[in-house]
Amino acid sequence: MRLRVSQFGAWIIALAISGSLHVGLFVFSYMKAKNGTPIPPHDAHQSAQLSGEDHETSSPEGSSDHGASAHDAHAESPVAEEHGSVGGGQGHNKAEEHGSTTSAEEEHKIDPVEASADSSHKENKLTSANHHPHWAYSGNEGPGRWSELDENYAICASGEKQSPINLEFAAESEDLHSLQFNYKKTFGFVINNGHTIQINLDPGNVLTLPDHEQYDLLQIHFHSPSEHKEDNIPYPLEAHLVHKNKAGGLAVVGVFFEEGKTNQVLKDIFEHLPQSPNDRQREVSISPMQLLPVARSFYHYEGSLTTPPCSEGVKWFVMAKPLMISGRQIENFVSLIGENARPAQPLRGRKILVHYE
């Protein structure tokens, strides 16, 4: 009996010691896990077995998995940030690359508006660069020196068909028919351009030449004394009615004025002449038809502009019969503008034709 009790007591003692050991191992394992110290699989498994809890739900290994997932998520954050940086960086670089490409393209592609603005700017610079020098009717800038003032004026000296000319030895031609003037009362602006008084007219006045070609009347200006001469004799004043066709060709009708009674058509204009090129343009109403003689006989020849650049290819029609203008009107013009007639130019073999009516 005593032996059995002893055996039983020994068993109880052994069981207590074993239980304490398991409890101690469990506590030790728990503290190590709590402090983040890795638990050997065997110890963890032992702890799980000792705790008696479900491994899939609440085992320290499960907690470790959860922690690993959190750590992995945090570990992926730099990757995500790096991806974001790379992604963002790539996006930024692409944007920069795209921006650079756009900039490069913009260097070669000119906006129409800019092109227009740039073209306009170039035109202004070109105009400024090619601005012709001042010319005059006397002195070092007078007609005899026009060709020396600018290379574009060279034809003023070298041209073969220059104007004005002395109208003599004209030959009548059956092929030269009447001029058709389809003029009407119109509005215009009177200006002083520094070389003459000019009336810029509204459109609607048409000249039809003997070859049936039509020219629009653009402006009327004046010269004193007359530029053209009859038998080497000038008139006190000459009007030039300048016309242009659709192709850009010019036709000029010259009208002589001799001193006499007041010209009513020019009365208001010549009494209120613009005193300088800076004066405001004055609008007037005028009937160009009344600046033509009733008898429409005329001289015809091929000539040029009578002022620089002296361009040739101008068709001239100079009316043979003069109109009247008063001495006061002539004086008003000359006292303001001065004499503004280019001398007669050599005929150089040209024929002067005349049509009588």
- Inter-residue contact 250 to 302 (CB < 8 Å): no
323: CATH: 3.10.200.10
Tell whether 343 is covered by a domain: yes
Q: Domains in the chain: how many in total?
A: 2
Strand duo 186-192 + 250-259: pairing: unpaired
41 and 155 together in one domain: no
pLDDT score, position 280: 83
pLDDT score, position 278: 83
In the chain, % of residues over pLDDT 90? 61
Q: Is 59 exposed, middle or buried (0-12, 13-18, 19+ CB in 10 A)?
A: middle
Tell whether 275 is covered by a domain: yes
Q: What's the pLDDT tens digit per position in 286-311?
A: 999 999 999 999 999 999 999 999 99
Strand duo 250-259 + 229-230: pairing: unpaired
On average, the pLDDT of the chain sits at 75
32 and 164 together in one domain: no
43 and 158 together in one domain: no
Tell whether 130 is covered by a domain: no
Tell whether 291 is covered by a domain: yes
Cis peptide before 293 (omega within 30 of 0): no
Reply yes or no on whether the pLDDT at 50 is more than 50: no
Reply yes or no on whether the pLDDT at 212 is more than 60: yes
Rounded (10°) angle between helices 41-51 and 2-34: 120
172 and 289 together in one domain: yes
Scanning the structure block, which residue is given the tokens 């896990």? 33
44 and 164 together in one domain: no
Q: What's the pLDDT tens digit per position in 258-284?
A: 999 999 999 999 999 999 998 888 999
Q: What's the pLDDT tens digit per position in 145-167?
A: 999 999 999 999 999 999 999 99
Range of the domain at 216: 151-355
Tell whether 109 is covered by a domain: no
Report the distance separating Cα 116 and Cα 100, nearest Å. 25
pLDDT score, position 66: 36
181 and 323 together in one domain: yes
Q: Alpha carbon 353 to chain centroid distance?
A: 47
Helix (H, G, I), strand (E, B) or coil at 241: strand
Reply yes or no on whether the pLDDT at 55 is more than 90: no
